Amino acid sequence: MKKRYLLLLLSVFGISASAQKSIDQRVSELLSKMTLEEKVGQLVQYSGFEYATGPQNSNSATVLDEIKKGKVGSMLNVMGAEETRSFQKLALQSRLKIPLLFGQDVIHGYRTTFPVNLGQAASWDLGLIEKSERIAATEASAYGIHWTFAPMVDIARDPRWGRVMEGSGEDTYLGTQIGVARIKGFQGKGLGSLDAVMACAKHFAAYGAAVGGRDYNSVDMSLRQLNETYLPPFKAVAEAGAATFMNSFNDINGIPATANKYILRNLLKDQWNYKGFVVSDWGSIGEMIAHGYAKDKTEAAEKAILAGSDMDMESHVYMTELPKLVKEGKVDVKFIDDAARRILTKKFEMGLFDDPFRFSNEKRQKEQLNNQENRKFGREFGSKSMVLLKNQNNILPLSKSTKTIALIGPFGKETTANHGFWSVAFKDDNQRIITQFDGIKNQLDKHSTLLYAKGCNADDQDRSMFAEAVETAKKADVVIMTLGEGHAMSGEAKSRSNLHFSGVQEELLKEIAKTGKPIVLMVNAGRPLVFDWAADNIPAIVYTWWLGTEAGNSIADVLFGTVNPAGKLPMTFPRTEGQIPVYYNHYNTGRPAKNPTDRNYVSAYIDLDNTPKFPFGYGLSYTQFKYSDMTLNSSDLKGNQTLNISVNLSNTGSYDGEEVVQLYIRDLFGKVVRPVKELKGFQKIFLKKGESRNINFKLTPEDLKFFDDELNYDWESGEFDIMIGTNSQDVQTKRINWVK
Ligand code: GLC
User: Which string of DSSP letters, residue by residue, matches 76-94?
Assistant: ES--SHHHHHHHHHHHTTS
Evaluate: CB of 281 within 6 angstroms of ligand 1: yes
Catalytic member of 171, 281, 557, 667: 281
Q: Which of 105, 165, 285 to mutate to test the pocket of ligand 1 (most atoms within 8 A of CB)?
A: 105
Query: Which ligand 1 atom is nearest residue 283's CA?
Result: 7
Predicted pLDDT of residue 369: 81
Evaluate: CB of 158 within 6 angstroms of ligand 1: no
Contacts of 437 (CB under 8 A, 6+ apart): 407, 412, 413, 450, 452, 552
CATH placement of domain 2-364: 3.20.20.300
Evaluate: CB of 163 within 6 angstroms of ligand 1: no
In the reported structure, the alpha carbon of residue 187 is separated from the centroid of ligand 1 by a whole-number distance in angstroms of: 20
Q: Which of 75, 149, 423 to mutate to test the pocket of ligand 1 (most atoms within 8 A of CB)?
A: 149
pLDDT in tens, 562-576: 999 999 999 999 999
Residues of the chain with confidence (pLDDT) below 70: 1-20, 425-428
pLDDT in tens, 261-277: 999 999 999 999 999 99
Q: Residue whose CA is closest, atom 12 of ligand 1? A: 53
Kindly report the CATH class assigned to 375-579: alpha beta
> Could you give the strand order of the β-sheet that contains 101-104, starting from the edge strand earlier in sequence?
147-148, 101-104, 74-76, 44-47, 312-313
The C-alpha atoms of residue 436 and residue 431 are separated, in whole angstroms, by 14
In the reported structure, the alpha carbon of residue 189 is separated from the centroid of ligand 1 by a whole-number distance in angstroms of: 26
Predicted pLDDT of residue 50: 77
Evaluate: CB of 485 within 6 angstroms of ligand 1: no
* DSSP code, position 198: B
Q: What angle do CA 502, 503, 506 make, to 5 degrees?
A: 75
Q: How many CB atoms lie within 10 A of CB 244?
A: 24
CATH topology classification for 625-739: Immunoglobulin-like (2.60.40)
Evaluate: CB of 216 within 6 angstroms of ligand 1: no
Query: Which ligand 1 atom is nearest residue 203's CA?
Result: 9
* DSSP code, position 396: P
Q: For the chain, what is the radius of gyration of the CA atoms?
A: 27
Query: Which ligand 1 atom is nearest residue 150's CA?
Result: 10
Q: Which of 116, 258, 281, 312 to mutate to test the pocket of ligand 1 (most atoms within 8 A of CB)?
A: 281
In the reported structure, the alpha carbon of residue 72 is separated from the centroid of ligand 1 by a whole-number distance in angstroms of: 19
In the reported structure, the alpha carbon of residue 60 is separated from the centroid of ligand 1 by a whole-number distance in angstroms of: 20
Evaluate: CB of 287 within 6 angstroms of ligand 1: no
Q: 349, 524 in Cβ contact below 8 A?
A: no
Predicted pLDDT of residue 61: 83
Helix intervals (H) in 143-252: 172-187, 223-225, 232-239
Evaluate: CB of 166 within 6 angstroms of ligand 1: no
Evaluate: CB of 379 within 6 angstroms of ligand 1: no
Query: Which ligand 1 atom is nearest residue 77's CA?
Result: 12
In the reported structure, the alpha carbon of residue 136 is separated from the centroid of ligand 1 by a whole-number distance in angstroms of: 18
Evaluate: CB of 204 within 6 angstroms of ligand 1: no
Predicted pLDDT of residue 8: 57
Q: Residue whose CA is closest, atom 3 of ligand 1? A: 281
In the reported structure, the alpha carbon of residue 54 is separated from the centroid of ligand 1 by a whole-number distance in angstroms of: 7
Evaluate: CB of 248 within 6 angstroms of ligand 1: no
Q: In 3-state terms, what secondary structure has residue 683?
A: strand
Q: Which of 49, 53, 163, 312 to mutate to test the pocket of ligand 1 (most atoms within 8 A of CB)?
A: 53
Residue extent(s) of CATH 2.60.40.10 domains in the chain:
625-739
Q: In 3-state terms, what secondary structure has residue 268?
A: helix
Predicted pLDDT of residue 49: 86
Q: How many CB atoms lie within 10 A of CB 572?
A: 28
In the reported structure, the alpha carbon of residue 729 is separated from the centroid of ligand 1 by a whole-number distance in angstroms of: 36
Residue extent(s) of CATH 3.40.50.1700 domains in the chain:
375-579
In the reported structure, the alpha carbon of residue 259 is separated from the centroid of ligand 1 by a whole-number distance in angstroms of: 17
In the reported structure, the alpha carbon of residue 88 is separated from the centroid of ligand 1 by a whole-number distance in angstroms of: 22
Predicted pLDDT of residue 7: 56
Amino acid at 655: Y
Residue extent(s) of CATH 3.20.20.300 domains in the chain:
2-364
Task: Kindly provide the residue ranges of all beta strands, DSSP E only, lying in 125-174, ordered along the sequence.
Answer: 147-148
Tell me whether residue 251 is one of the annotated catalytic residues. Answer: no
